[in-house]
Structure 1
Amino acid sequence: MNNIKKIHKAEFRPIADLVTYSPMPTQSLNHLDPFLFLNHHGHQIYPSNNQGLPFGPHPHRGMETVTFILEGDITHMDSSGHQSVIGPGGVQYMTAGSGLIHAEVSSEEFKKKGGELELLQLWLNLPADKKMMEPNYIGLQKDQIPTFTLNQRKTKVQQLFGEWNGAKGAFDGNFPLTMSTIHMENGSRFEKSIPAGEQIFFYVVRGELEVNGTEVPFRHLVEFEKNTATINVEATEDTILILGHAAPFHEPIVAQGPFVMNSQEQIQEAYADYRSGKFGSWTH
């Protein structure tokens, strides 16, 4: 049952005054194909009249972001014309595709009033034949995301991609992907089957749990063996977990700055296209 390969502790990497931990990439774990990168910001409390999130306009190409807002908010703006403010419990899904410029900043209300902030951003790869697809963005508030409960309502699941327990995910992914945010009360448990050969993404955001008999504290990511068929999870504290799984692409990954492509030549092309204005203009 215990098919855990390694447990990776998130490294402390503050960004300006933003508390940030990252379990991937690190010296011990580069990526888990097709899951590329995770930043965990907070938990922290911002004072009134703060500067908010520091992610001003910047480009992306060849990948996707899934942003989980636990506390606080994010104002999203991009060069394709999308704009939204998503609050606690909401999720943003952005496909950079052929290229766009976006900003992720705090709302004017948050900057004025301050408050709690905790959010995570996960980068997903795009398969080679979709890296130049049209960019897209969807932001959903908490009440727009399908949820269900397990274990006498002690485990609450937000279904983001794919299907589980009859609940279809809020987002249609650009490759077969199953992903959930799971809130567990102390003592609750669940079991989930994983299709053969799929890569598992398993990150403990808050609390502490046991997976397949092994204890995992918060801010740790679990790397499983590829032959893992079932995961058994039991919360030993009130816990928040992000759980996803997908088939690996087995394609070359060349990542540089905000671009994720399949070759160094494509990276150079991305920088050239960005400099020449092919990612759109920033008019916000």
Structure 2
Amino acid sequence: MRTIKEIHKANYHPIADLLTYNPLPSPKLRQIDPFIFLNHHGFQKYAPNNNGLPFGPHPHRGMETVTFILEGDIMHMDSGGHESVIESGGVQWMTAGKGLIHAEVSSNKFKKEGGNLEILQLWVNLPASLKMTEPRYLGLQKEDITSFTIDNEKVKVQLISGEWDDKMGSFPTLFPIFMSTISMVKSGKVIKNIPSTENIFFYIVRGKVKIQGEEIPFRNLVEFNNDGEILKFEATEDAVVILGHAAPFKEPMVAQGPFVMNTQEEIMQAYRDYQSGKFGTWNH
């Protein structure tokens, strides 16, 4: 069985009027290689005629973003020409690669009507060999993502990438990475085989779960030891968990602002390339 190394409580870091909690990175945890950053926005209710999400056009290089829309919506636009509005239950996966500019804002409908909002964004590192890959984007609505139930329908798995028994995730990835959103009713149990060589990303979005007798509430990131092949957890009240796992790259990482590279010189080059227009043009 996998054992807990440490539990990391998300720190409160509001962005404008957006409630935001951030468990990774923290003073005690730089990364869970290759998972490097998580923002948990909400839960909150927006009034009609609101400003929506505050993430206007900004650049990225060297990493990927996986965005989980639990409540509300996101309108994505980027310098590669991609544009979509993904609604509650949907997921976006964007590969910044060699560089692009994107914006993540609320739809005109949400800004006009208001409503509930809870959105999480996870940054996943890219290995040195893929840092300068071509950018790409895929957004899928809830109904287009593989999902199934286990434990007598007490657990619903949304399989974003990778494999679970004979089922395949809906998002193609550049390297082997498992990603899922798991919704559990009280007493629901999950038992999953995960190679001990892979690092686990485990964040409790809602509710409480019990792992090896320890009850852990929402807005906590659980860091695991690489000591077993089986992960087991149980919901002690209705819960939502983001579960991912992947083999670590074990490469140097330099993260500065929106860029994640292997050396400081590569970071400086990213700034030069962005300023000279190599990340594409913004036509939205």
Task: State the TM-score, normalizing by the size of structure 2.
Answer: 0.99
Residue 135 of structure 1 corresponds to 135
- Contact 1:38-1:123 within 8 A present in 2 as well: yes
Indicate conservation of the 8 Å contact 1:2/1:212, yes or no.
Answer: no
The answer to whether structure 1 residue 188 and structure 2 residue 188 are counterparts is: yes
Name the residue aligned to 1:12. Answer: 12
- What letter is aligned with 1:269? Q
Tell me how far 1:254 sits from its aligned partner.
0.3
Tell me if structure 1 keeps the 8 A contact 2:2–2:227.
no
The amino acid across from 1:148 in the alignment is: F
5 Å matches for 1:105-124? 105-124=105-124
Residue in structure 1 matched with residue 243 of structure 2 by the alignment: 243
**Aligned residue number for residue 226 of structure 2:** 226
Task: Provide the residue aligned with 2:68 in structure 1.
Answer: 68
Look up the equivalent residue of 2:41 and give its one-letter code. Answer: H
Per the alignment, in what secondary structure is the counterpart of residue 238 of structure 1?
Answer: strand
1:276 partnered with 2:271: no
Contact 1:148-1:167 at 8 Å conserved across structures: no
Measure how far apart 1:228 and its partner are: 2.9
Deviation of the 1:227 alpha carbon: 1.7
Which sections of structure 1, spanning at least 5 residues, go unmatched?
none
**Structure 1 moving runs of 4+ over 6 Å:** none
The secondary structure found in structure 1 opposite 2:132 is coil
Corresponding residue number in structure 2 for 1:84: 84
Contact between 1:212 and 1:231, CA under 8 Å: does it hold in 2? no
Percent identity over the alignment is 63
* AA matched with 1:189: K
Residues 21, 39 of structure 1: 8 Å contact kept: yes
- 1:50-61 alignment, distance < 5 Å: 50-61=50-61
Say whether the 8 Å CA contact 1:2–1:213 is kept in structure 2. no
> 1:214: Cα distance to partner?
1.7
Q: Secondary structure at the match of 2:237?
A: coil
How far, CA to CA, are the matches of 2:69 and 2:222 in structure 1? 21
Tell me the amino acid that sits aligned with residue 58 of structure 2: H
2:22 is matched with which residue? 22
Kept in 2, the 8 Å contact 1:65–1:93? The answer is yes
Paired position in structure 2 for 1:252: 252
Q: How many residues align?
A: 284
Matches within 5 A, 1:261-272: 261-272=261-272
Instruction: Give the match for residue 206 of structure 2.
Output: 206
**Cα distance in structure 2, aligned partners of 1:181 and 1:189:** 14
Report the alpha carbon displacement of residue 2 of structure 1 after superposing the two structures with TM.
5.9
1:121-159 deviations in Å (ceiling 9; x for gaps): 000000000000000000000000000110111100000
What displacement does 1:94 show? 0.0
Which whole-Å CA distance do the structure 2 matches of 1:36 and 1:214 have between them?
Answer: 25
Instruction: Give SS of 2:280's match.
Output: coil
